[in-house]
Structure 1
């Protein structure tokens, strides 16, 4: 009996040492003395353990000892693979989360707000706007005034969906901004149809009223006669002459303006002296005839 208890305690201590990898439960339920003079012990298994079991022979009086492990605890290889898959999924989720992070000039943008990608894009956007009011916003990522003003510009864009807002990043298009004579930020220019540039000014968060007043002044619908003007001719020529940007522009041919014909004004001339002497004078003729009649009498 002492030998049986020592065997049981041996398995119990081994189970306690390896409980992180395998869970083995060996509980002696009862020991019966056989006629052959040996003990026969039946083992009670932990009911919480799954049905998967491994049977092996031991020197525990020639009896079988059932070794069982939890399915909840995967084997060493499976555990490592599952841990790697969890880490990969977390890394993928983290990467997607960082990929969706918006920059401050992209937050709150409305459908009528567009970032300009090149000089040609700016010219085409202004040309295709028609009679719609277009606001060109020049900003810089490192400009604190631009960052503070951006949320209010987004609110005004949301309140005026019929106005097109074009954003020009000064750091990405510095050479183009030089050609357009933009040297202070934040800076705004208003364009409409055949009128071309309506106004240009710089304002900050403290002087936002200047922007609102310009928006209210130029927003009413107006029909402009003629093609959309966009940038001025000198600005287009400056962009085409800039070697740092790829922009081609062919100057428009100058049409010769016809000179109006001079009008010849003919004034009525006074009758000449000869003509005046040739005409008979009624008073003289009358006097001579009167003298002839008097003499005849």
Structure 2
């Protein structure tokens, strides 16, 4: 007991403590345990190991049981609007009046359908999935979307005030038809698509939007769009023969202009050109 009391004054692991442990007997796996301010040796399951066992200390409990050392950053993408869902590669939005005019001109003889819609229109919302289906089934047809809330001035200049509203265009024919329809009257859209879907070859220059609408767009101060009306070309004379452009109807023979040749007045007759 005297040796054990002496060890209480020694630090664990010091040479003096080790020598005192040897004087108590070298127990295999002995452990120095300090209980009540005194050290005692107990059998340890670890072979030949000595360890100091002190009073158990309670660990601080976190106030937030959900707290975790791993932090996850969750980012959510931008919520898509209903008119942005289900779009096909042949569907795109129009942002300016110039883009609308250029799209119709660059489409050539292909069929172009302009879809005028309003975000707050329940009929537009309900019809949108079916329009996307039509676009998917007809990849050779272009579908252009015009948002009324973003382009009110342009829609007013084009005299579009009812939604949903559609206009069909093609090449030299220009506007083919225009109408408003909903899910209940979707047959209008199906019939117009079936009628104008077959490919046709243009026999003249691409028209696109009608000239009256081009002038209305150019007169709108809210739009950055310019258009200058081209002057009408009058028939001209070259080498004594009449040259008539394809934009003008052919004049009858009786109405041909007279050309002075020598001493006689003769009517110049076009040779089928």
Give TM-score scaled by structure 2 length. Answer: 0.65
Q: Choose from 48, 54, 68 the match for 1:65.
A: 54
Look up the match of 1:245. Answer: 223
Gaps of 5+ in 1: 1-28, 46-54, 56-62, 266-297
Q: Choose from 257, 261, 267 the match for 1:261.
A: 257
Gaps of 5+ in 2: 1-28, 46-50, 237-254, 260-264, 267-273
| 1:205-220 matched pairs, under 5 angstroms | 205-220=183-198
* Alignment deviations for residues 57-111 of structure 1 (CA, whole Å, 9 cap, x no partner): xxxxxx66387999xx9999xx97936x33xx13xx2x33xx1x21101111111
- Answering whether residue 180 of structure 2 is matched by residue 191 of structure 1, we say no
Look up the match of 2:158. Answer: 180
Greater mean alpha carbon deviation, residues 245-254 or residues 138-147: 245-254
DSSP 3-state at the match of 1:40: strand
- Output the CA distance in 2 between the equivalents of 1:74 and 1:226: 85
CA contact (8 A) 1:138 1:167 kept: yes
- Output the CA distance in 1 between the equivalents of 2:134 and 2:56: 74
- Answering whether residue 130 of structure 2 is matched by residue 134 of structure 1, we say no
- Output the CA distance in 1 between the equivalents of 2:229 and 2:156: 20
- Answering whether residue 40 of structure 2 is matched by residue 40 of structure 1, we say yes
DSSP 3-state at the match of 2:209: coil
- Output the CA distance in 2 between the equivalents of 1:141 and 1:223: 36
Over 3 Å counting, the alpha-carbon distance change for 1:152 and 1:234 in structure 2 is same
- Output the CA distance in 2 between the equivalents of 1:125 and 1:68: 78
DSSP 3-state at the match of 1:166: strand
DSSP 3-state at the match of 1:204: coil
DSSP 3-state at the match of 1:105: helix
DSSP 3-state at the match of 1:247: coil
DSSP 3-state at the match of 2:188: helix
Q: Choose from 154, 159, 163 the match for 2:141.
A: 163
DSSP 3-state at the match of 2:132: helix
CA contact (8 A) 2:31 2:43 kept: no
- Output the CA distance in 2 between the equivalents of 1:66 and 1:251: 99
Look up the match of 2:131. Answer: 153
- In terms of fraction of residues, the more helix-rich structure is 1
Displacement of 1:230 after TM fit?
A: 0.4
Look up the match of 1:271. Answer: none
- Cα RMSD for the two superposed structures: 3.6
- Output the CA distance in 1 between the equivalents of 2:43 and 2:149: 79
How many residue pairs were aligned?
A: 204
Look up the match of 2:23. Answer: none
* Greater C-alpha radius of gyration: 1
Over 3 Å counting, the alpha-carbon distance change for 1:171 and 1:65 in structure 2 is same
* Alignment deviations for residues 7-45 of structure 1 (CA, whole Å, 9 cap, x no partner): xxxxxxxxxxxxxxxxxxxxxx99999xxxx65144979
Give TM-score scaled by structure 1 length. Answer: 0.60
